[in-house]
């Protein structure tokens, strides 16, 4: 027990602020408690879940969440982050510095500034439509016609830097002998 004594405060905080709210959410998921200040609650079993999975709005929200997760986090951030990290391994010092600076700048911008920049990019009179008009391609109001695309792009833009930094650190840890052996093997 003395070995785990230093962990006791952290474990207590995790139980209070993480496990406690999760357990409470699981408990109230099976009741008819409402956020409007209802005084009494009663156990309703799986009725909440049955109603949710029959609701088209809920199923649409689940679908959009899956699309957002796959498009922005799995495909966008990870793929682009790995590609940038791999390209930066082979690039010259000025190119690495410029690319790293541009990508990390998107990551450290305050949320309000990033939100305004992306709004200016996607709005009807925005930068994206100006480029599409210049290329003689059809433009549209992206924030209303394809909002999941705009939100996914924003998340990729904001999160790629973290993926790039993680992958760069991992690629830097690969011994030179392994890289040289792979080049010799083709």
128 close to 121: Cβ distance less than 8 angstroms: yes
pLDDT digits (tens, 9 = 90+) for 33-72: 887 766 677 888 899 999 999 999 999 999 999 999 999 9
In angstroms and rounded to an integer, the radius of gyration of the C-alpha atoms of the chain is 24
Alpha helices in the chain (DSSP H): 8-14, 20-29, 47-54, 56-68, 80-90, 93-108, 111-122, 127-134, 142-145, 147-172, 176-185
Structural domains in the chain plus CATH codes: 1-54 (no CATH), 56-185 (1.10.3720.10)
pLDDT digits (tens, 9 = 90+) for 154-171: 889 888 888 999 999 999
- pTM comes to 0.70
Region 72-100: mean pLDDT is 89
130 close to 98: Cβ distance less than 8 angstroms: no
Q: In whole angstroms, give the CA distance from residue 128 to residue 120.
A: 9
């Amino acid at each position: 027990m003395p070995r785990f004594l230093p962990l006791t405060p952290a474990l207590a905080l995790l139980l209070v602020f993480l496990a406690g709210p999760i357990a409470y959410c699981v408990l109230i998921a099976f009741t008819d408690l409402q956020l409007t200040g209802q005084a009494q609650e009663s156990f309703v079993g799986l009725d909440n879940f049955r109603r949710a999975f029959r609701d088209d709005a809920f199923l649409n929200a689940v679908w959009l969440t899956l699309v957002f997760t796959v498009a922005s986090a799995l495909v966008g951030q990870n793929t682009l982050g790995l590609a940038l990290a791999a390209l930066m391994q082979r690039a010259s010092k000025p190119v690495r510095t410029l690319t790293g600076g541009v990508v990390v700048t998107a990551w450290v911008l305050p949320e309000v500034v990033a939100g305004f920049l992306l709004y200016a990019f996607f709005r009807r009179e925005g930068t994206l439509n100006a480029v599409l008009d210049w290329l003689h391609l059809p433009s549209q109001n992206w924030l209303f016609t394809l909002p999941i695309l705009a939100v996914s792009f924003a998340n990729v833009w904001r999160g790629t830097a973290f993926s790039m930094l993680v992958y760069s650190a991992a690629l830097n840890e690969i011994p030179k002998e392994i890289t040289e052996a792979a080049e010799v093997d083709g």
